[in-house]
Chains A and B, each alone.
Chain A
Amino acid sequence: MRFQLTDEQQDFGRSLDALLTASDTPLAVRSWAAGDHAPGRALWMRLAEAGVFALAVPEAYEGVGPLPVELAVAYVALGRHGVPGPLVETAAAAVLLAGTPAAKEWLPRIAAGEALVTLAEGPYALDADAADLLLTREGRIAPGHGPLRPSADPARRLFAPTEGGELLGGTPALSAARDMAAFLTAAQSLGVGLALLDRTVAYVKQRTQFGTQIGAFQAVKHRLADTLLALEFARPLLYGAALTMAPADIAAAKVTAGEAAYRAARTALQLHGAVGYTEELDLSLWLRKARPLRDAWGTPSACRATVLTA
């Protein structure tokens, strides 16, 4: 047993962090929210070059995967930087497509970063306007989509797929695709939570009130200690799930990471005071993501039910 990331896996995470830090990711997020996908797609290509999407694609289709541990490392980094787009859905679609005749056409393009694919969850599909392929969760190729339905997070653009369209054929791995989506949403949530914590820790060290850094007040410290605690106990569940990809393990990771990130958002907002309640501060990019991610691809309650069916 060595329940620890290898040096290579850690290096991979660090290199993605460096790439995303250098890429002005907040600008890509804001443009994406405004409907301009160009900076986001450029970022997507750079992530593909770094190998992110190939991790979800089997070797037979020009990928290197599926490699869940590496995917988790990558998606924590993507969440940490708030990268926009159907990241989770594209990787989940790779799982869905793998057993179908469409695999040959789409999987190499996904691995190369040339295809953004979205997969509808319930009534909506994330970023259908930017996606090259829109799949429903029954494995149908939707012919189009309805108008934008604004999300609480403007960088998550929701659209209802139009009815009709052909079924994928073959044996699409529907439940495995949903598990992959839940798993990567958990990873993304953990990253979002870590980003919120980092930014809040930096802020409370710098902001002074009553003649002292607010980070010296116990009420502030203890809230941040609890935030760290919740995130650090979500992390092993995520990697444990990566090793088994069992639905109950994924559900446990999903609910824990989702709740931890959401609580991190509440704490971040509170400790930033009024400035935290503004759109201008980049903090808002993560603040608005935490709640939708908590509920996407398995609400906490649905995840808990899955845990008990194991």
Chain B
Amino acid sequence: MDLTHTPDEDAFRAEAREWLTANVPSEPLPSLETEEGFAAHREWEGRLATDRWSVVNWPAEYGGRGADIFRWLVFEEEYYRAGGPGRVSQNGINLLAPTLFDYATDEQRARVLPPMASGEVIWAQAWSEPESGSDLASLRSTAVRTEGGWLLSGQKTWSSRAAFADRAFGIFRTDPEAPKPHQGLTYLMFDLKAPGVTVRPIGRLDGKPAFAELFLDQVFVPDEDVIGEPGQGWRIAMSTTGNERGLTLRSPGRFLAAADRLTALWRAQGEDVTLRDRVADAVIGARAYQLFTYANASRFAAGETIGAESSLNKVFWSEYDIALHETALELLGTDGELADTAWSEGYVFSLSGPIYAGTNEIQRDIIAERLLGLPRGRRA
């Protein structure tokens, strides 16, 4: 058992640090949930890609550096330590790309991945529907066979950043006669600018026009944009949720950096004794999350798969994130109310953590049923 980095990982860290020091914008970019900020962040993705830092763990042929999971974690630590901007292409890179690596054809990978890595094409996830949230398998949007492809109809909702994104990936019902709700679904990619697509932005709790509702009316998708076999959409999509809840969505680097900022704020505010325990908990939580992730990464590197354990991850980081921000707001006192600070923006965003990527109630069911072997409840 050891926690030491190899010389290769240390060299990689040094190289990343040097590049980030020279390149991370000194002024924070405008919020990526606004049109202006979205554009600025897209440009930043391009800058990252130029020196092959946008997708370090991808193979070189798609713009990556072939970094293994430990070097990826090292990069993420450095990225957030340097104050790197939020990643506007995270839906594509973290959610769609792993699915493409596992299920797509070579042609699809060659066509889709490079513009994803460069920020030229920004992706949105179109899974949720107005009537299908936690019970996603009940989704009703359809894809109907047509000459050379499929026609999409229906409504998707809560699609993060779809207002400004270029393309989307989602699951659609292709066989309404299938005996069970999660059968007869197909996973495919479509263009948000295609004829028949209406995108209606929805203001978030902080008023930013971040997510959107998608109305789809006979939207044509060519066969080449179907991922895997038609009818296998559920299985393919579920392999993505593991990624979302697990390692990729929230790497520990982000929380280590946030805990450092919180400690600095606490010191600057005179080390308020009444809040000392909560600041310490933020420091401890970031370390726990880092080590938990290293343990999972070690298992992963040894060829084991991480299954329902990713639900532990998701509940942990989402609740941690809120507690950390609440502590910061309390330290700020009266100024905690101001809406335009990084802490208060982070706080409002953290509040959505227990809802997206599968609500924490659903994650706790998964933990109880799959990790503890408790009986299934009344859910279908």
Bound complex: CA of A215 vs CA of B365, how far in Å? 11
Bound complex: CA of A252 vs CA of B2, how far in Å? 18
- If the complex has contacts A228-B371, A229-B312, A255-B284, are A236 and B376 also in contact, measured as CB distance less than 8 A? no
Chain A 201-215 interface residues, beta-carbon cutoff 8 Å to B: 201, 204-205, 212-213, 215
B5 within 8 A of A: yes
> Which of B145-153, B204-212, B293-301 contacts its partner?
B293-301
A301 & B277 in contact (Cβ 8 Å cutoff): yes
Residues on B with beta carbons closer than 8 Å to the beta carbon of A233: 285, 288-289, 292, 312, 316
Least CB distance, B246 to chain A, in whole angstroms: 14
B2 & A236 in contact (Cβ 8 Å cutoff): no
What is the size category of the interface that chain B forms with chain A? 35 or more
- If the complex has contacts A4-B295, A4-B298, are A234 and B280 also in contact, measured as CB distance less than 8 A? no
A9 & B377 in contact (Cβ 8 Å cutoff): no
Bound complex: CA of A228 vs CA of B368, how far in Å? 9
Interface on chain B toward A: helix, strand, loop, or mixed SS? Answer: helix
Task: Give residues in A with beta carbon < 8 Å to B.
Answer: 1-6, 9, 69, 197, 201, 204-205, 212-213, 215-218, 220-222, 224-226, 228-229, 232-237, 239-240, 242-243, 249, 252, 255-256, 300-301, 303-305, 307-308
B268 within 8 A of A: no
**Can you list the 10 inter-chain pairs with the closest CB atoms, starting with the nearest?**
A236-B291, A304-B280, A221-B368, A225-B367, A225-B364, A4-B298, A216-B375, A3-B294, A215-B374, A222-B364
B248 within 8 A of A: no
Residues on A with beta carbons closer than 8 Å to the beta carbon of B287: 237, 240, 249, 252
B2 & A308 in contact (Cβ 8 Å cutoff): no
A240 & B291 in contact (Cβ 8 Å cutoff): yes
Bound complex: CA of A235 vs CA of B296, how far in Å? 12
B377 & A252 in contact (Cβ 8 Å cutoff): no
Residues on B with beta carbons closer than 8 Å to the beta carbon of A228: 312, 367, 371-372
Contact of A221 among B9, B297, B365 (CB under 8 A): B365
A-contact bits for B351-380, CB 8 A (1 contact / 0 none): 000000000010111011101111111100
Name the residue on A nearest B6 (C-beta).
Answer: A1
Residues on B with beta carbons closer than 8 Å to the beta carbon of A255: 280, 284
A213 & B375 in contact (Cβ 8 Å cutoff): yes
Least CB distance, B280 to chain A, in whole angstroms: 3
B122 within 8 A of A: no
